[in-house]
Amino acid sequence: MINTRSSLIKKYLYIVVLAIFALFIGPWLSTASAATGSSSPRVILNGRELDFEVPPIIENSRTLVPLRGIFEAMGANVDWNAASRVVTASKGAIAVILPVDSSTAIVNGNPCILDVPPRIVSGRTLAPLRFVGEAFGGRVTWDGKTKTVYISNASVDKPAAVKVNANQVNLRNGPSTLTAVVGRAGFGEIFEVLEEQDGWYRVSRGSETAWLAGWLVVAGPPAGTPEPEPQPQERIVVLDAGHGGFDPGASGNTLKEKDVNLKITQGVGELLAQKGVTVVYTRSDDRYVSLEERSSIANRLNASIFVSIHNNAGDLPSASGTETYFYAPASNLDLFAQREARAKLAKAIQTELVSMLLRKDRGVKEANLSVLRNTLMPSALVEVVFISNPMEEALLQNNDFINRAALGIANGIMAFMNDID
């Protein structure tokens, strides 16, 4: 009897505790659940909210969104290879290859480094927001207060011509910010428009075509505007920062050649731009560009000069100094016809660089290097100093030394151009 009464009391107390829990804790759980659900970002494409079987997520401060749903809403064709776990998508001039769990995507044959790798969630591929939104020409904005992603890739009317409305814009080989840069255009430059896609314009420059972002231009002069007076042909200098991306080049104790090359190259470009020279970079960030593409960029632009910038490495840590290369063998008649100009360009850079750096003068040399062999204009490859030499690696960590290296190369290029005027 006592045991029965004790059991009833325990059951009664248990029910009371559950009631109190439901009264006070239940609403909190409901609110937390609602908050969790509301934390999933919304995606609005061209003013229309998209619905997904698997919602976007925020992971380590990065937003991952369903790739197929957005790509198809933007008009792309999407395929999934389960065996290789690779997504391929295409639309117009753009082709995208996206391996799951890889931080490198391929856009029109060019590697594109992702913030975070794509991953599979509940049988759907989620990928970084900005890549997905921009891959096929979209402009992506993020409203942190409402956790809303806005993507715009709406088509616009095609004008006959457009005028660049920014200080400098990229010309690309496809209608997307993820495609390769094939040139640059300055403020006020006017282009004939050949076609429009997703707010991008395919324009012509001489015999070449490229894509311009529509939000960086305004409609050009109306039909019937008198043609401007012919101007002297623009001289373009293509600067090539050696290595990049998964190709680090040589390494010192702390420095990677690809990083130093890029820093010096950008310094050279800034100095040349100040003198009114049009500069195009084969890469302007840490990305891989094939040797063949580096030459092709210069050839497509019909550049006046091509200069590839590197730092050397030797078997012995004592190896030091500066050297510059050219290539113009008698066995290649096209290059041999430029032999004097190519040798003069290399000598001008070597002379100015040694004068600025005061390192050992290793001289001008001739070598069958890809970027020298495949460029159609006077070209040179400079090895600034030896990153494998501890003393010279320490110099490369000094901003003053980097600036003097850039000034030496820029002075050499200007000396060459002034000499052939």
Q: What is the largest CA-CA distance in the chain?
A: 116
Cα 28 to chain center, whole Å? 46
Burial 129-161 (b: 16+ CB within 10 A, else e): bbbbbbbbbbbbeeeeeeeebbbbbeeeeebeb
* Whether the Cβ atoms of residue 298 and residue 306 lie closer than 8 Å to each other: yes
> In a 10 Å sphere around its CB, with 0-12 CB exposed, 13-18 middle and 19+ buried, how is residue 185 labelled?
buried
360: how many CB neighbours lie within 10 A of its CB?
A: 15
Q: Looking at the annotation, which residues are catalytic?
A: 383
**Structure tokens, 421:** 């005027």
Helix (H), strand (E) counts: the chain: 11, 26
> In a 10 Å sphere around its CB, with 0-12 CB exposed, 13-18 middle and 19+ buried, how is residue 379 labelled?
buried
* Whether the Cβ atoms of residue 307 and residue 382 lie closer than 8 Å to each other: yes
342: how many CB neighbours lie within 10 A of its CB?
A: 23
Instruction: Please give the full DSSP string across 274-305, using - where no structure is assigned.
Output: HTT-EEEES-SSS----HHHHHHHHHHTT-SE
